[in-house]
């Protein structure tokens, strides 16, 4: 068991002792058990699985953020995170639409804008997939 904190600017999403955490990082999915090596890396949109015990599991949808694995304490800082069944499908669809519309005229955008809209598209696609919506 170790202590896990999942924090967004809107407050704690999860705080408590867990056995295992599975999260999507920029290098792929990682599972974190007790005594994991110290690691600091970026989190990308995907599913966050929090196992308090093999029977007691909570799942969240995450957007971008950072994970800090420091001995007996793991902190995940996220822009947004919510239970999978709370994904706002309409909102994600409209975000996806906005991102794709902007990305059509790629040459008109600055590099930063392209990065922003690609991240937005990735987020919306991932969250829609988690919510079980087939991409149109």
SS3 category, 105 = coil
CA distances from 118 to 4, 68, 109 (A): 30, 25, 12
* Cα distance between the two ends of the chain: 42
User: Cα separation of 2 and 83, whole Å?
Assistant: 21
Residue 69: CB minimum distance to another protein, A: 9
The footprint of another protein on residues 58-77 (CB under 8 A) is 65-66, 68, 75, 77
Our finding on whether 39 is near another protein (CB under 8 A) is yes
Residue 41: CB minimum distance to another protein, A: 4
Phi then psi for residue 37, to 5 deg, are -65, 150
Residue closer to another protein by CB (options 25, 122) is 25
Residues that bind another protein (CB under 8 A): 5, 7-12, 25-27, 37-42, 65-66, 68, 75, 77, 79-80, 110-112, 115-116, 120
């Amino acid at each position: 068991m170790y202590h896990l904190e999942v924090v967004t600017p809107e407050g704690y999403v999860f705080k408590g002792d867990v056995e295992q955490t599975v999260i999507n990082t920029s290098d792929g999915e990682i599972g974190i058990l007790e005594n994991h090596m110290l690691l600091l890396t970026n989190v990308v949109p995907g599913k966050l699985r929090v196992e308090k015990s093999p029977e007691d599991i909570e799942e969240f949808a995450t957007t971008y953020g950072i994970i800090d694995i420091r001995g007996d304490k793991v902190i995940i800082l996220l822009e947004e995170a919510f239970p999978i069944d709370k994904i706002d499908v309409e909102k994600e669809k409209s975000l996806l639409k906005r991102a794709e519309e902007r990305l059509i005229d790629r040459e008109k955008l600055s590099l930063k804008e392209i990065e922003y809209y690609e991240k937005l598209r990735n987020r919306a696609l991932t969250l829609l997939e988690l919510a079980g919506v087939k991409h149109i």
